[in-house]
A and B are shown apart, each in its own frame.
Chain A
Amino acid sequence: MISNLQRENLPSGMSLKRRDEIYGYLFIAPQMIGFLLFVLGPLIAVFVFSFQDRNLLLGQITFAGIDNYQAMFKDALFTKTLQNSLIFTAGLVPLNVLGGLFIALLLSGNLRGMIFFRAIFFLPVITSAAAWAIVWRFLLQSESGVNTFLQAVGIDGPNWLQEPNWAMVSVIVTRALKGVGINMIIFLAAIKNIPQDYQEAARVDGATGWQVFRRITMPLLAPAVFLVTVLTIIGALKVFDTIFLMTNGGPSNGTMVLVYYIYYQGFQFFETGYASALSVVLFLVMFILTLIQWQLRRRFVFDEQE
């Protein structure tokens, strides 16, 4: 034992600091190797593929320059699906962020039974996405489910999933109900983190409830609001399962979003190169939106030290 220790302390060119570093790297190696192999590798591959004419079925690969990107300008379905993705995002983000904030504010008190209501709103988050979508497909039939209730109050409900505009509304609301719970939890945690003293001090100074919310609570929640908005926008642009299971992109491509179109190009048409180029565009859209939000964050979020 002693000899071992002595041997390790021998001046073999390795200092204690250096050895610690090596151990450090060893400890993070499993995670890093996994990240490099399964995340960064494919990510770079997609960029490379996007400049190639690739066909999964033919196994053919040729360099195509920017052909794939040029083809998008002539592809009406690309424009349509990009639009759909933006509409979906524009519908989902306010519902999910404001809805999550509103519910969190309602449920942040310490009244009896609050935990029960929080659990209710969180339940859809842990439900399987597939089960959620399929159950809603049944609820949104033309002659039963939701429409039965509407009939009872004298409203003739639409054929939700078969009319292009209603189908888009349906998938947005279905998705919002599923995701609002996780945002609520993030907001709840942020609200609980605000020291009570600030609000009490404001009230002592004569602030009304709205003023307390507007001047104290809201600014302190700003970092959480930005985090949730960024995550929700990214999530909305990546939506696939809800669309796949509820509408298949229909009717008349009315709910076909960009990710679904990428899936079609890559795995139904086997045009892997073009699908990769579409993925790069989606990546850039997300990147730019996130960048814009980052800039806004600097302007509006005072609470952070940089």
Chain B
Amino acid sequence: MIKKLPLRFLALLFALSLMTGMTLGQDTINLRFTVWTGNEAHLAMLNGIAAAYQETNPNVTVTFVTIPFADYQTKLAIELSGSNPFDAGWMPESLAVPFLEAGTLLDLSSVTRDNPDYNFADLSEAAMSLYLRDDGVFGIPFSTSPELIYFNRDLFEAAGLETPDVLQENDAWTWDALRAAAKTIKDTTDVYGFQSHGQSIYNIHLWHNLAALTRAFGGDIWNAEGTDCLLDTAESRAAIQFYHDMVFVDGSTVPPGTEADFSAGSAAMTIGFLSQSARLGEVSFEWGIARLPEGPAGYVSVIGQSSIVAFQNSRNPEVAADFVAFITNQQNVETMAQFFPPIRASVLNSGAFANANPAVAPEALETSVVPSILNGSLLPTHVEFPKIDLAGRAAFDALWNPEGDVEAVTTAACEAIEAFMQ
């Protein structure tokens, strides 16, 4: 008898815990929100916003789950097909179209566009373009980062050159000027003058770099409808040849297979997003930013965009959508502007944004960043982007040597990627 008691007791405890678990489960909702930042300052800010939401919705808690960007696509898809999917999270522009077309994103129109308090008209329409489909609103961009030129002031000084921000002010900031400066710096200081975005035009950021180059020359990667490859146009070829010459004729630009980095002081200029300024906090040199240089087609701004979405598979879709609306409302966008350039015109044009980023001077933000956001063209997106990416990069690998033939490579690349554009 006595021996059997513990078992019964345990069974009772178990039953009780199940019951309490069930009642708790009815009352408390935990939203799982996925992000790719592990930055403590970012997470502290997000947790602050979640705490504010909980004040008005005491039964809702929000957990932010970090997935490193390199694994984001993979893990997000796996989690969404699992039994405990994410409720909401960040979405980079490269995945937006595939995920949207696959029907994984929740329509947010009732809590955003159709809610007068949300002030939907305040959002830049151009920046919203990816997410407005079939009369629905499938995401709210929270960060529109223009591609900028970061430059090392110390190296420009050593080479006795005018810095890009000064050239920009004098309307003399062109790709030709950039190329000449890079060459002079390499010749006088023996440090590379220019480095592609993330040093990875040769690899994962091929398209980021090609977008900035080809658009300044009047070309592009593919057309807006995503049906035609434009890399084999004369304009795009001129742009790609220009870069190829910088690497293999001038020798001024970090070549493939060399691990040099702007933040280590081993390249004088690079292309980067605004958020990259966070990583330059402790470098040993003085640096500044300028907008992308003008090409034969004038000045074209290229912006990368990250958005907040709610997922179709969420167990609590109404709450998930409501939280997305909350985190992107006027007040929270102001809070996030310290790290992420917003698409709310009211915040962008307010002094709040100019003074928000401690790493970048307010004038530079106003002259280089704000206009770039308002007039920017998005990085290329495509529903078949993962396949285009692999096929296109493999074709471009043949270009990265001194004998690389731009015409042949762009023809091959277009052939390879157009296979996925029908």
Contact = CB atoms under 8 A, between A and B. Distances in A.
Given A56-B77, A138-B259, A267-B73, A159 B98 contact: no
A252 B394 contact: yes
Contacts of B80: 57
Tier of interface size on chain A: 20 to 34
Contacts of A268: 73-74, 386, 390
A266 to B, nearest CB: 9
A264 B258 CA distance: 26
A4 to B, nearest CB: 10
B300 to A, nearest CB: 29
17 contacts: A56-B77, A57-B80, A57-B104, A58-B103, A138-B259, A141-B257, A141-B258, A143-B255, A144-B258, A162-B256, A163-B401, A248-B204, A252-B394, A264-B390, A267-B74, A268-B386, A270-B386
Interface string B169-212: 00000000000000000000000000000000011100000000
B382 interface: no
A161 interface: yes
Nearest to A252: B397
A160 B81 CA distance: 40
Interface in A163-191: 163-164
**In the A-B complex, the 5 residue pairs with the closest CB atoms:** A251-B397, A142-B257, A267-B74, A252-B397, A162-B257
A268 B259 CA distance: 26
A267 B80 CA distance: 13
Given A56-B77, A56-B81, A250 B203 contact: yes
Nearest to A250: B397
B393 A56 contact: no
Contact of A160 (B77, B203, B257): B257
A250 B387 contact: no
Contacts of A24: none
A274 to B, nearest CB: 12
Chief secondary structure at chain B's binding surface: helix
B1 interface: no
Contacts of A199: none
Interface in B143-189: none
A164 B257 CA distance: 12
Interface string B383-422: 0001100100111011011000000000000000000000
Given A56-B81, A250-B203, A269 B387 contact: yes
B257 A252 contact: no
A83 interface: no
A159 B401 contact: yes
Interface in A229-266: 248, 250-254, 264
A253 B204 CA distance: 14
B81 A161 contact: no
A248 B257 CA distance: 13
Nearest to B398: A252
B393 A250 contact: yes
A164 B255 CA distance: 16
B386 A142 contact: no
B18 interface: no
B102 interface: yes
A252 B396 CA distance: 8
Nearest to A134: B259
Interface in B52-72: none
A163 B99 CA distance: 35
Contact of B255 (A59, A142, A252): A142
B361 interface: no
Given A57-B104, A162-B202, A248-B204, A267 B255 contact: no
Interface string B318-355: 00000000000000000000000000000000000000
B388 to A, nearest CB: 11
B386 A269 contact: yes
Interface in A119-177: 137-138, 140-144, 159-164
Interface string B259-292: 1000000000000000000000000000000000
